[in-house]
Amino acid sequence: MTTVGLIGLGAMGSGMAASLRRAGHTVQVFDVRREVAEAFTQAGGTAHDTLASLGAACDVIISVVVNAAQTEAVLFGDGPPPNGLPGCAASMKPGSVFVMCSTVDPNWSVALETRLEAMGLQYVDAPISGGAAKAASGQMTMMTAAKPEAYALAEPFLNAMAAKVYKLGDSAGAGSKVKIINQLLAGVHIAAAAEAMALGLREGVDAAALYEVITNSAGNSWMFENRMAHVLAADYTPLSAVDIFVKDLGLVLDMARASKFPLPLSSTAHQMFMQASTAGFAKEDDSAVIKIFPGIELPKSAN
């Protein structure tokens, strides 16, 4: 019986863990917020006090943290004792699989696979997309790359969490490259959606009417429909924060810079998110990028 553990019960991870449980798996979890892990296990599963304990107990570990630095900490610890917490890699059983779901530099992912293989561990490069609602319903997308042996162990869990699991290569890197390209589009689309809504507000167009027309017209995008609904509701609760796109579009530009490939739209969108971040909106929903536009009155909350 293959055992599964999941690290990080945030907006995406909590839904993914619930999807695993709904598929009949006994899910073992770790989150730095102990109370969040305990709350999840009230409906079944086991919460671990330490990453080392989780690592020793599971054949497949799925990591759903924010970035490469957090992934490093999850695996290898975040500093020496007494204040540092040990990671899970040292306690994982030989042949077990680490599934990395963060958006990271593809070259970092390639290097991580090599590092884990030297420890006798297997690796799946598996960035995710779709948002919290699709994670909760098991309908998200996974962009994966891994050796066949790693897939053999991890695939039942990947299929439980995602409607589409794309296999993009037999070694790390390809999954992360495709996710970076997805984030290029996502970031540019959010920035363009905010710019369009801001222009409408500036010109005195009713925001709700504009939203209705655009979402039923050729100019619509998934991001306009999703994110501008947050603006209409004046709800900037961070399902995905402004600083996520500061990071992700930074990764997009880093990848392109290495081969001197021009990305003018990505560069502009990145500047917009950085402007929003430094203006004080870093931790707000990424739709708050609309707040950088001058001379507009944004919709107010009905509450």
Instruction: Tell me which residues are annotated as active site.
Output: 179
Say how many Å lie between the first and final Cα of the chain, rounded: 50
Alpha-carbon gap, residue 111 to 114, rounded angstroms: 5
DSSP one-letter string for the chain = ---EEEE--STTHHHHHHHHHHTT--EEEE-SSHHHHHHHHTTS-EE-SSHHHHHHH-SEEEE--SSHHHHHHHHH-SSSTTTSPP-SGGGSPTT-EEEE-S---HHHHHHHHHHHHHTT-EEEE--EESHHHHHHHT-EEEEEEE-HHHHHHHHHHHHHHEEEEEE--SSTTHHHHHHHHHHHHHHHHHHHHHHHHHHHHHTT--HHHHHHHHTTSTT--HHHHHHHHHHHTT----SSBHHHHHHHHHHHHHHHHHTT---HHHHHHHHHHHHHIIIIITTSBGGGGGGGSTT--------
Alpha-carbon gap, residue 121 to 198, rounded angstroms: 50
